[in-house]
Amino acid sequence: MSAAVETKVFFKRAVVAAAFSPRLVAVLNESQRILKILGAWPIIVHIGEENPSNRSKLEDAVARSEFRDHPPVLIVRAGQPSDVLMDVVLEYEADLIIAGALKKERLFKYYLGSIARNLARYSRCSVLLLTDPQQKPQSFKKIHCAVDYDEESKRAVEIAATIASSDSARDVYLTHSFRLPQGDEKKAFPENAEEIKSIYKQEDEKLKQFLEEALPWDIPYHARTLYENTKATALNFAREIEADLVIVPSRQDHLGIWGRLFPHDLELALQDLPCSLLLVKRPV
């Protein structure tokens, strides 16, 4: 994908969660690559007792990572993980948190799953969850950005376009999941072909108009409208197209796509993410 994308800083500072796991360097390398695209300055945080041993482990991991040439701020602090991370966000006025999901490491699954759940639900800033970090990171080839028709979605689309352009992504999918008109939720989706065609035509036009306003750059993309017949329509679509990254906008009131995706079973859903997930929240 080739496109002339203007330089724009979406995030100023990012807090990177650094758990002492076999994949710590992979998490750091993935974070460094993405932060370089997004223009954010890193603060790396390990949750644990501040002592020479933990400090040395963290410094050694950073020295072996892609952060070594531009040493970030390093913090070692005891406490409840998600609380510590959100406290550091406030102290440094950060607007992004990055954490590894590490689904393949069973010893860390519950611990990190709980952190991801709390960050996604309570963080006042954007959150990036890396599901399969690699020591030698690969670019994103398929990006799926789900949108509503609001300001948070416009920012999510701009971020998707920036990452896609930098990574020369092969495919960018910009989708909107629609439901039946308010008051008709209990009605079955029409079976008549003409009715179905008419509904999708209207929804396609709404998405087209929104993207014409939201996309300031001329990039190739696939626009799709999806009938929201399950709570996980956006994630199921990402799984279907084998996306590398899903970008979802979220309002602070938890309404919109994010609220519909994970109203109650957030932790269960986060443990079964099809790929890395960027939850875009409006800066507070």
Least confident of 10-24, 63-77, 252-266: 252-266
Beta carbons within 10 angstroms of residue 31's beta carbon? 30
| Mean pLDDT confidence for 79-85 | 92
| Least confident piece of the model among 21-25, 89-93, 221-225 | 21-25
Q: Is the dihedral of CA 255, 35, 24, 18 positive or negative?
A: negative
Is 231 or 24 the better-scoring residue by pLDDT?
24
Q: Tell me which DSSP letter residue 242 carries.
A: T
Q: Which residue has the higher pLDDT, 193 or 6?
A: 193
Q: Higher-confidence residue: 179 or 10?
A: 10
Mean pLDDT in residue range 63-84: 94
Indicate the SS3 state at residue 280: strand
What are the chain's domains? 13-130 (3.40.50.620), 142-281 (3.40.50.620)
What's the mean pLDDT in 160-171?
Answer: 93
Backbone φ/ψ region at 187: left (φ over 0), alpha (ψ -120 to 50), beta:
beta
DSSP element (H, E) containing 127: strand 126-130
Other C-beta atoms closer than 10 Å to the C-beta of 155 total: 19
How does 232-268 read in b/e, with b if 16+ C-beta sit within 10 Å? bbbbebbbebebbbbbbbbbeeeebbbebbbeeebbe
**Which of 135-147 are b and which e, b meaning 16 or more Cβ less than 10 Å from the residue's Cβ?**
eebeebbbbbbbb
Whose CA is closest to 15, among 129, 124, 95? 95
Mean pLDDT in residue range 97-105: 69
How far is the C-alpha of 241 from the C-alpha of 230, rounded, in Å? 17
The pLDDT confidence band at residue 108, using thresholds 50, 70 and 90, is very low
Tell me which of 36-45, 78-87, 256-265, 272-281 is least confident: 256-265
- pLDDT at residue number 272: 72
Residue owning tokens 């531009």 = 70
Contact 61, 18 (CB under 8 A): yes
Whether residue 73 is predicted with pLDDT greater than 80 in this model: the reply is yes
At residue 47, what are phi and psi to the nearest 5 degrees? -90, 110
Count of alpha carbons within 13 angstroms of residue 25, beta-carbon side: 13
Q: Are strands 276-281 and 222-227 parallel, antiparallel or unpaired?
A: unpaired
pLDDT at 66 over 90: yes
Interior angle at CA 15, CA 232 and CA 60, nearest 5: 120
Report the distance separating Cα 118 and Cα 141, nearest Å.
29
